[in-house]
Amino acid sequence: MNRDHVELLQWLVPGLPDVPMSSTYWIERAQLSLATSTQCRDVYPVIDHTRGSGVWMYDLEGNEYLDMTSGVAVRALGFRPDGIAEFERRLDDVIEELPGQDFDNIPHILLAERLAATAPGDFDKQVFFTTSGARAVETAIKAAIDQTGRQRFVAFRPAFHGRTGYALALTASKAVQREGFPQSLAVIRAPYAYPYRCPVGEDPEACTEYSLNTLRDAILDEGTDIAGIVVESLGGEGGIIVPPVSFLRGLREIADEYGAVLIADEVQAGLGRTGHWWAIQHAEVAPDMICTAKALGGGYPLGATIARSPMFERSSRHSETFSAEPRQALLSLFILRTIEERNLIENAGRVGAVMIERLRQELAGCDQVGEVRGRGFMLGVEFVEDRESKRHAGELRDRIVRNCVFSQRLWVLGAGRSTIRLLPALITDEEQAMEAVTRFVRAVDQETVALRAKRQVIAAAP
């Protein structure tokens, strides 16, 4: 962090001493002032907020990291994408805020039209803008209730749809997210099609049949008056789970059978990450609604629900103060145009496939790697105690994450009970992707060798 920025901070916060370039110092301050959330302060150092370019980021001590998280799938174009500074300077005369739910403006109309054009389905569509993925899901739930006059929903296990209200009621991926909080929605829960851990075996079609049949039985037992089926087109927080395309097609059939709305949660998987605009397009399915956020804002809070028209039966059924403000709408249009002009969707599909293949090759001999899976730039490696038992190896996963960050200077994230996820920015090229794989495999090798040595010592003890 340069001296000018230190002086800026001191001007903003009178009495602030010279800013120590120490993660430890600032983590101690953070622990006192910030409410506990999802931070892993024993894993991730404090990032220098004035540096970073493309897929490279830096901590306060000046260490460089290869970022394979893109801000949990937010920074689709990486840090400081080409042309963004010049583009933002062109927005100097754009006013900061207009409540889009009350007053129309050209940028948010154009963004709505552009988003609707990316979504599958040969029917008219409308868009509702919000400020996060959870709020986009909340919007879809309210719209489905409004359209159908029903209040019962289908969701899956594992699944993540957000930590608030209706979205929390749909979520089932970590108990800590739900424990003690009242649930505000009637939810029929069914197993997500998770071939690696399916009770009937790993065959994708058998897994699909098991999941859909279980769902049909649950609907008959709990209520056929369902308003909607809410599903992640590719499971994210629950462990980067790639469902068989037949599973998503089967959900479309069940939704049609019961007159329910099919809602695709693509907050993490959407906007090109899997090699299509939307992950559900791999199954050639057109959902009635798509929920998106993260990459849509390009680093700023923006979400959207794209839905079959009309989205609400009458006015004033739902609203929000902040939503696709003019500056933000223009920035999002810039992101969408850049994704298209630079063929970043094709890049994600192609380079992501190379990453998955090399990870499978390099980790084939490791008995603690249960499965390598993913689509495009949404990859997961699930760790187990051994391949025969498939018991989750959460502690091993956590040690590998720490090794990646501290030793390999590779930024990765956990997901599910024992999976590590890699969510590269869409701009990631093959050389950067292969460097990430090299660092990741090195971390896995080091931690699994250490684990085997520990087991041998334990086994030899009297």
Same domain, 354 and 207: no
Q: Are residues 294 and 358 in the same domain?
A: no
Q: Judge whether 94 lies within some domain.
A: no
User: In terms of domains, do 381 and 404 share one?
Assistant: yes
- Are 147 and 21 in the same domain? no
Beta bridge partner(s), residue 369: 383
pLDDT at position 399:
97
Q: What is the pLDDT of residues 222-274, one digit of tens each?
A: 999 999 999 999 999 999 999 999 999 999 999 999 999 999 999 999 999 99
DSSP H helices in 149-244 = 165-170, 204-222
What's the whole-model pTM score?
A: 0.95
pLDDT of residue 182: 85
User: In this structure, what token pair is assigned to residue 155?
Assistant: 């969701």
The arithmetic mean of pLDDT across residues 417-432, rounded, is 98
Quick one: pLDDT at residue 321?
85
pLDDT value at position 130?
95
Those residues with Cβ within 8 angstroms of residue 237's Cβ, 6 or more apart along the chain or in another chain: 158, 160, 173, 174, 268, 415, 416
- Exposure letters 70-106 (e unless 16+ CB within 10 A, then b): bbbbbbbbbbebeebeebeeebeebeeebebbeeebe
Q: In this structure, is residue 231 part of a structural domain?
A: yes
pLDDT of amino acid 96: 82
Report pLDDT for 184: 81
Whether 92 maps to a domain, the answer reads no
Residues 141 and 39 placed together within one structural domain of the fold: no
Question: Would you say residue 378 lies in a domain?
Answer: yes
Could you tell me if 226 and 322 lie in one domain?
yes
CATH number at residue 332: 3.40.640.10
Whether residues 332 and 419 fall in one domain? no
- Are residues 251 and 352 both part of a single domain? no
* CATH number for the domain harbouring residue 74: 3.90.1150.10
Asked if the model's pLDDT at residue 454 lies above 90, the reply is no
Q: What is the pLDDT of residue 421?
A: 98
Q: Quick check: is 98 in a domain?
A: no
Q: Is the pLDDT of residue 458 over 80?
A: no
**Domain closes at, from 287, 314, 341:** 341
Convert the pLDDT of each residue in 297-346 to its tens digit.
988 999 999 999 999 988 888 888 888 899 999 999 999 999 999 999 99
Given this model, what pLDDT does residue 247 score? 98
**What is d(CA 35, CA 396) in angstroms, rounded to the nearest whole number?**
28
pLDDT given at position 181:
86
pLDDT band at 400 (very low <50, low <70, confident <90, very high): very high
Domain of 160 in residue numbering reads as: 106-341
| 306 in any annotated domain | yes
Would residue 90 count as lying in a domain? no
**More reliable by pLDDT, 85 or 344:** 344
Instruction: Return the DSSP state at 44.
Output: P
Structure tokens at 279: 């992950």
**Average pLDDT of the segment spanning 422-429:** 98
Residues 342-354, mean pLDDT to the nearest whole number: 98
Indicate whether 198 pLDDT > 90.
Answer: yes
Which strands form 419-422's sheet, in the order they lie side by side?
A: 369-375, 378-383, 419-422, 413-415
Mark whether 171 and 29 lie in a shared domain. Answer: no
Return the closest-CA partner of residue 137 out of 236, 310, 271, 265.
265
Residues 412 and 450 in one domain: yes
Collapse the DSSP code of 156 into the 3-class scheme (helix H, G, I; strand E, B; otherwise coil) and give the result: strand
Q: Is residue 93 part of a domain?
A: no
Residue for token pair 């009297």: 462
Q: What is residue 283's predicted lDDT score, i.e. its pLDDT? A: 98
Query: Tens digit of pLDDT for each residue in 251-265?
Result: 999 999 999 999 999
pLDDT of residue 59 exceeding 80, the answer is: yes
The mean pLDDT of the chain is: 94
Q: Is the pLDDT of residue 460 over 80?
A: no
What's the CA dihedral at 30, 35, 41, 44 to 10 degrees? -90
pLDDT over 90 at 99, yes or no: no
Q: Is the pLDDT of residue 461 over 80?
A: no
Per the structure, how many domains does the chain have?
2
Last residue of a domain, one of 313, 341, 369: 341
Domain end residue (candidates: 309, 341, 373): 341
Q: Do 291 and 168 share a domain, yes or no?
A: yes
Cα 254 from Cα 262, distance rounded (Å): 9
Single-letter amino acid code for the residue at 189? R
Q: Hunting for tokens 């001590």 — which residue is that?
A: 61
What whole-number distance in Å separates Cα of residue 172 and Cα of residue 195? 18
**323 and 353 co-located in one domain:** no
Q: Is 78 left (phi over 0), alpha (psi -120 to 50) or beta?
A: left
> Per-residue confidence at 281, pLDDT binned at 50, 70, 90?
very high
CA dist 166 and 287 (Å) reads 19
